Structure 1
Amino acid sequence: MPNPVTSAADGTPVTLERRTGPYGEVVLRRRGPHFEIIANGCFLMDTSDGRSERLLVRAALAELGTRERPRLLVGGLGAGFSLAEAAAERRWGRITVVEREPAILDWHREGPLSAITRTALADARTELVRADLVEYVREAAGAGPRFDALCLDIDNGPGWTVTDGNSSLYSPAGLAACRAALAPGGVLAVWSAQPSPAFERSLWNAGFCRVRTDEIPVARGVPDVVHFAARPA
């Protein structure tokens, strides 16, 4: 007989945990064998695929060429696919993951999502930081170049943010901070649920080069995309 806590006979999602955190409500649900993360009623991600989240990190590394032991910032732990991809690649140096939701950190450290990231969290290169990404990037920019790659996945896209405060990350000032936090020739990669030509223009206007958008087909609807841009060398 199915466990009523973790599955539903008709395939509807079952809530495993609901928390009110510093930025609102965060919910972990299970739908069949997969988990879903909902923030303030907005669907963020699930564990059914993860290809685009992995591409976020894999393509950023390819853009860096032969750079040795590049330093990576992953913005948003989420379902953990980006971190898992990074830790599986020995070329990366320090891997810093910034996540502001305590619940998501707990679900990975000792909860249902630990199956995805257990090995990555045990990697000596991995550093988990509980912080707001917008503030963290701003501080990193002020301190000077700290990273070779910024892989950001905290919203459904530049025009579809989880909280209003996140919109500043995609503003001219926010993109300038991302650029300043990168070493010369460093790469910015931003996940989105849909393409955004306007965001591409914003990246060019912010002084980035090699701007492009990669599409990742999904089972239904428009493709997921990853926006790429580089700080001039």
Structure 2
Amino acid sequence: MILPFKGANIYFETHGKGPAIVLLHGFLENSTMWKNLIPELSKKNKIIIIDLLGHGNSDSLGYIHTMELFAETVAAVLKHLKIRKCVLIGHSLGGYVALAFAEKNPEKIKGLCLMNSTSNEDSEERKDIRTRANKMAQTNLKSMIQISISNLFYQENVSKFTSEIEILKQEALKTTLQGYLAAQEGMKIRPNRNHILTEATYRKLIIIGEKDPVIDVTISLEEALKTNTNYVIFDGGHMSFIENAQELLAALKTLLKK
């Protein structure tokens, strides 16, 4: 389905009936990343998947997609669907968006899962990496996207998931140059939101990849302990929904049962 939002079109789908669960994809991904989880999760829940601005079938909106702007699109979809409360599960960028949504709409949150994501702000090193990536993307977006996807996996897993990685690359290529640049700029300026986890009275979970090349496992553990947030550690990299699919589904089911 398509929802108009500030002159842009936002694509979303719903699956199943029951308590609402919103699944938010990561950078260079889109709502298709959830296809293997939906059949099981939708048995007892209403699953809502959204293509974030500049990704998949959703338009871009300006040249900086802040986490707050992304969160506004989520709020617009939930208002359209008349959803009063939900559990938010966000992968990477989707986790940053979930936190921004939770900050603005705490009364609507029943649970929050940061999947290979963090409530910390970007380090200066990460900001520099994003700046360099944006410069390279303007020269050769396709090459930049293809390299980026492979680098998100624990390198020993790359040969195991060649077909899955190829599908991810094809979906990532739906991301426009404007969408790529705007999301990177938005992630660079996002604030620290440790306090959202610390102050939350709802259920919360951090999914950690032990070999995550993007978010260091020790920093994730420190964050979980500092914010009193439950966590699980998988032995893969940044792409738990592929590298640790069964363990992820079990962890999410446990979160949803609480």
TM-score calculated relative to the size of structure 1 = 0.38
TM-score calculated relative to the size of structure 2 = 0.35
Name the structure where helix makes up a greater proportion of residues.
2
Name the structure where strand makes up a greater proportion of residues.
1
